[in-house]
Amino acid sequence: MKQNKSNELKIWRVMQITITLTIALAFIVTSAGSARADSNKPSIVLVHGAWADASNWSGVTARLQADGYTVHAVPNTLRGLSADVAYVASILNTITGPIVLVGHSYGGAVITNAATGNPNVKALVYVDAFVPDEGESLLQLASTPPPPGQPASCLGGDPTTVFNFVPYPGAQNGDVDLYIKPELFPSCFANDLSVRQAAVLAASQRPIAFSALLELSGTPAWKTIPSWYLIGTLDKVIPPYAQLFMAQRANAHIIQVKASHPAMISHPSAAVDLIEKAARETDN
């Protein structure tokens, strides 16, 4: 009996030491990461789009952190525009000081609305993104006929040949999740990435609720906040002509990069350069 109690005491002490060391190590790692951040620089908030997640910003996040920026790569719920906007706006409200808000694809519609009325958001950066005006839906923007000689979006046409429709618990009015068909993903969504990398992205894609594409956008923040836009000239999801139209309408500072839809994955340095340029402008 005494031997058992002695063994239990030893195990408990080992557990205490392990827990203490784990907490201490976590504190050291967190402190080291925080120490590299420059408090004089704006915080960078990255919002991913549909069929993606926050890990798509990894290359951008690492470079921005190395340059002394505090970065928040936030999860986008993809449950509906109003719900996603409210969630991102709630995160913005927890950040003190100036913010550069960045959105990719559908995330562009989210930041367009989430930044409205927030005085801390000093710049908007769009990467291959939707930039809706008030009263527009993403389905409207995506369905606009292309100019003569220009290809339509690879996500257009018969939706049954493009998407897998998956019901989800709690869906209202027959709503469904949309997944890009895995066999289409590499050539459509990720056409400048390796086949292997595109296949991984296809397997890990997060779906968007179909209803999110139908919601009308509210008062756009780009009417009062300076904007920057990266156009991926190889983008087949939001064709370059559509990106250019939206970027020019928002009076954005525009750069063009030979990149597919996820330009922040294939050309993270170009995305970082544009984000940091926007950040520097907020200091002036």
Q: What residues are annotated to the active site?
A: 105
The residue behind tokens 């989210």 is: 110
CA 122 from centre of chain: 18
> Which of 222, 213, 241 has its CA nearest to residue 81?
213
Q: Strands of 139-263 (E only): list them.
A: 163-166, 177-180, 208-209, 227-232, 253-257
Contact of 226 with 278, CB cutoff 8 Å: yes
Q: Which two tokens stand for residue 210?
A: 């179909």
CA 278 from centre of chain: 17
